[in-house]
Amino acid sequence: MSIHNTPTPHNAGKYGDIAETVIMAGDPVRIKYIAENYLDNPVLYNQVRGALGYTGTYKGKRVSVQAHGMGIPSIGIYSWELYNFYDVKRIIRVGTCGSYKSEVKLGSIILAEGACTDSGYGTERLIPGKYSAIADFDLLRRAVENAEKDGVDYEVGNILSSDVFYNQGKFQDEWTKLGVLGVEMEAYALYMNAALTGNKALTVLTVTDNIATGEELTSDERALGMDKMIRVALETA
C-alpha cells in the first residue's frame, strides 16, 4: 500500500494531482514543450527545483509529464516518490543518448529493453548479486508497434546507464562487444525502482550523437528527432 505523504521535499504535487502514467525527461524545457504542444488543458503541479510537472490529457487519456534532472541519483528520487507516494503505475522516460554502434542512425530512437550500469545504485539494497534492469515488456511491445506505425527508425536492445558524462567513450569496445547500443545516464535506476515497487517503466531515447563515428545532430535535427520520440512515448502511455 502506498504512503500518501505528499507533497514531498521535491514535488509540490498533492496526491491525485498526478496521473497514473507519467512521461519523464531530464530537461524541464522539454517537459514544458511537451505540455504546451501535446497535452490538452495542462495544469502545472510542480516547479520545485525547476523540475516542472504538468497533468493534462493526450487523446482523451490523463497523462502527466515531469522533469527528473540529470543522472541516476536524481531520477532515482523522483521516480521513487512517484511510484510510492503518488500511485503512479507507468513511467516512460524520453531522453537522448550517444550510440556505440556506427550503424545506428543519428535521429533514430532506441527502445531500451535493458540497462547495464557502472553505477553503485542499488547496492544499498544489499542484494547479493548484480540486478539486471529491464523494461516492462507490454510497454516495450506497444512502443515498437507505435514506432512502426509512425515510420520511425528504431533499435531495440541493451543500453548503458553511466554515472560519468565526459568519459562515455571509455570501455566503448567492451560494451559494444556485449551488444550494448548506446549510453545515457538514468534508465537503470528507473527500471530498478519500477521492479522494487511492482510497477512499469520504459526508456525511449533519441540518438543525438554517434560515439563510434564522431557524428552529431544539428540543433534543428535534434528537435525533429525529439518529436518522433515524444509521439512514440505518448502513443504508448
Active site residues: 209
DSSP assignments along 21-50, one per residue: EEEEES-HHHHHHHHHHH-EEEEEEE-GGG
Phi, psi torsion values for 233, nearest 5 degrees: -65, -45
CA torsion angle for 108, 161, 50, 28 (degrees, to 10)? 0
Q: Is the separation of the CB atoms in 12 and 45 below 8 Å?
A: yes
User: Cis link prior to 7 (omega < 30° from 0)?
Assistant: yes
DSSP 216: B
For 148, other C-beta atoms within 10 Å of its C-beta total 11
User: Could you identify the residue written with the cell 502511455?
Assistant: 237
List residues bridging with 94 in a β-sheet: 204
Residue 148: closest CA among 108, 187, 179, 115: 108
Locate 147 and state its grid cell.
514506432
Q: What is the C-alpha to C-alpha distance for residues 221 and 13, in angstroms, rounded to an integer?
A: 34
Q: How far is CA 11 from the centre of its chain?
A: 18
